Chains A and B, each alone.
Chain A
């Protein structure tokens, strides 16, 4: 029996795959409404802003506005999808349906479950980003095959956003609580991270704030890959995304442990 070296570091096992599969099976049953939310809405944004604003804005950073926001919306949709999954859906499984409690009657541990939920949120973020990528490619908004390299980055980012959402879920007493996080974190990130307009347009202090949060770094890597160039730098941006993700999964596991296993 290996002695736990630390009690705060999550130690998930491969059994987490069974939890991930459970979520996948449920998702398959509710495919249509789920896809409408995760995919339909960002496409509407893309088309409305792209065509509507595009004519007014003209070219941005040497690309058409439509191309510019397509690469941004891929990132933001991954954030939204993973955040929703980590909050509303995970909270339902934790607090309303006692799904996690049922799992804890099996060889699954809390570490497995929380990790699986974050990976599942990442998977859903990846699914919606991929579908948008396909549509963007069909519309001619993607330059070359380098865009495929954006997908692993999206998956990692969606894991981070899912894990951050699970931290909020661990603290939530009802669904209303999630509005705080959306209003205070998700929406500001959406508006200030270079999704709809270049970060450089903003005052310096806002740029600093935006770069302290993960989404801006996701956009910095993904946009060049989708528009046919290589990112100026990758590792510093990845470090921020991974740092947030690691801290969030550790904190989420500890908080959910304190909540459920007391």
Chain B
């Protein structure tokens, strides 16, 4: 073949997934997923519990055998390239896997050794990372003495020990207080700014909206929407949400709702998705109700696309 001269360099896509499938006991948990994540992008993978997020991530990391389709990470096919890929990846798993028999610093050193890293360079890197996540004064502390937030920060610091090109985070902020979450967000933004590709799953929509360049919503093993957060909102949902509560609200909304508005009941509160909120609010006020108004956000898109039913 007469080749066009190719310049060696990083592939444009950090991650490329084609027609990915995974079946457990005859049930397709991942059912034909296509994804392309660009180098340097901050990508969010959202979906209800059991939608296939974690299974997709696990196949990406070589931790689950692929039943169908292709996965390429940093230009290497998975799972054949798992060792090489994981050398260049940082992984923050959903559940802590810190070593309770070790102190903070020992955890860092041992983890570095798994990458074959040791010596003075690594020691300097460990110092720098512990500094970054505010754990420098906890170096000698045992893991059981750390708070949930500290453990997450240590997990992140540990995942960065190999200066990864891609960082994969599976629900990194679950169970954190707002302060700890904001601290973690700042770390992630810094990584993004330094050119690292980030892949995040989360159940917090404002987190995804805040951080991610692009978001895919996955349900029943399929990608049902994939775009920038602002475009997902613009495309999938009315711009305004009128909220009203009380026993009268149901009948009032039934009678006052515009032809193109959508109403939805959550417990004893009604949500009306609308492009013309002013008219509706006036009418509801005239009936003695107290409607509130807010802009539609990613959570509204998510609930519209994946439904309001509980998932277990």
Contact = CB atoms under 8 A, between A and B. Distances in A.
Partners in one complex: yes
A13 B115 CA distance: 13
Contacts of A29: 101
B86 A105 contact: yes
Nearest to B116: A15
A31 to B, nearest CB: 13
Contact of A109 (B82, B100, B159): B82
B283 interface: no
Interface string A202-222: 000000000000000000000
A104 interface: yes
Interface string B92-103: 010111111110
Interface string B171-215: 000000000000000000000000000000000000000000000
A21 interface: yes
A107 B101 contact: no
Given A1-B80, A18-B116, A21-B113, A105 B99 contact: no
A62 interface: no
B113 to A, nearest CB: 4
B64 interface: yes
B103 to A, nearest CB: 10
Interface centre among A1, A102, A262 (most CB of B within 10 A): A102
Interface of B: 24, 61, 63-65, 76-77, 80-84, 86-87, 89, 91, 93, 95-102, 106, 110-111, 113-116, 159, 162
Nearest to B162: A106
B23 to A, nearest CB: 11
16 contacts: A18-B116, A25-B102, A97-B99, A97-B100, A101-B95, A104-B63, A105-B61, A105-B91, A105-B97, A106-B114, A107-B83, A107-B87, A109-B83, A261-B63, A261-B64, A261-B65
A137 interface: no
A29 B111 CA distance: 18
Interface centre among A1, A15, A104 (most CB of B within 10 A): A104
Contacts of B97: 97-99, 101-102, 105
B93 A106 contact: no
What secondary structure prevails in chain A residues at the interface with B? Answer: loop
A25 B106 contact: yes
B114 A15 contact: yes
A103 B114 contact: yes
A61 interface: no
Contacts of A98: 95-97
A32 interface: no
A13 B86 CA distance: 15
A204 B102 CA distance: 51
Given A3-B80, A19-B114, 17 more contacts: A1-B84, A18-B110, A18-B113, A22-B99, A22-B113, A26-B102, A101-B95, A102-B97, A107-B84, A107-B86, A107-B87, A107-B115, A109-B82, A109-B83, A261-B65, A262-B64, A262-B65
Interface centre among B61, B63, B89, B102 (most CB of A within 10 A): B63
B93 A101 contact: yes
A108 interface: yes
B79 to A, nearest CB: 9
Nearest to A22: B110
Contacts of B84: 1, 107
A41 to B, nearest CB: 23
A106 B147 CA distance: 24
A99 B83 CA distance: 18
A193 to B, nearest CB: 34
Contacts of A262: 24, 64-65
Query: Which 5 pairs show the lowest CB-CB distances between chains A and B?
Result: A102-B97, A105-B91, A106-B114, A98-B97, A26-B101
A240 to B, nearest CB: 34
Interface in A1-53: 1, 3-4, 13, 15, 18-19, 21-22, 25-26, 29-30
